Amino acid sequence: MGADFGYRGQRLGLPQEGPGSVAPLGRRFGALFIDWAACMLIAYGLFARGDQQSAGNWALGIFLVLSLLTVTTVGFTPGKRVCGLRVVADDGSRLGAGRVLLRTVLLLLVIPALVWDRDSRGLHDRLARAVQVRI
């Protein structure tokens, strides 16, 4: 018999299902895909006409600015809003700009986002003391 760790988000005081519960991985990946596709389109259209390598580099900067502006002010990126997600501090409050910047930089490094804890939070969320929840 294994140890019972409870449901995802129980240690954080979040509900098991419904609004305020930990966001499922499928929705989180979907939101990231939407945001990244939008950043690539903006980068390709505005900065890198015909050069995909350059567009990819510009998209990183656009993603950083997009995430910093939207998560700091309203708590979600356009992709997260479409997927019904919000990023909040682990105590339920709004994240400050410094924590959003840390979270986004670690997300852009990719590896921290692939290391999860038992609440399905990536290392980027854990270090920024953030959690993605359903809205």
**Euclidean distance between CA atoms 22 and 41, whole angstroms:** 30
Classified as helix, coil or strand, 121 is coil
In eight-state DSSP terms, residue 93 is S
Q: How many domains does the chain have?
A: 1
Residue 17 falls within a domain, yes or no?
A: no
In total, the chain counts a number of residues equal to 135
Query: Model-level pTM greater than 0.75?
Result: yes
pLDDT of the residue at 3? 61
- Cα–Cα distance, 48 to 98 (Å, whole number): 30
**20 within some domain:** no
Residue span of the structural domain in which 38 resides? 25-134
Q: What is the pLDDT of residues 65-116, one digit of tens each?
A: 999 999 999 999 999 999 999 999 999 899 999 999 999 999 999 988 889 9
Query: Looking at the predicted structure, is the pLDDT value of residue 2 above 60?
Result: no
| Strands, E assignment, the chain | 85-89, 130-134
| 15: in domain | no
Q: Which residue has the higher pLDDT, 5 or 99?
A: 99
Measured in degrees and rounded to the nearest 5, phi and psi for residue 116 equal: -110, 155
Looking at the chain, the whole-number percentage of residues with pLDDT higher than 90 is 71
Residue 13: is its pLDDT beyond 60? yes
CA distance 88 to 52: 34
88 domain residue, yes or no: yes
Q: How much is the pLDDT for 51? A: 78
- How far is the C-alpha of 118 from the C-alpha of 7, rounded, in Å? 9
Specify if 10 maps to a domain. Answer: no
Residue 60 lies in a domain: yes
Residue 86 lies in a domain: yes
Q: What is the pLDDT of residues 14-64, one digit of tens each?
A: 999 999 999 999 999 999 999 999 999 999 888 877 778 888 899 999 999
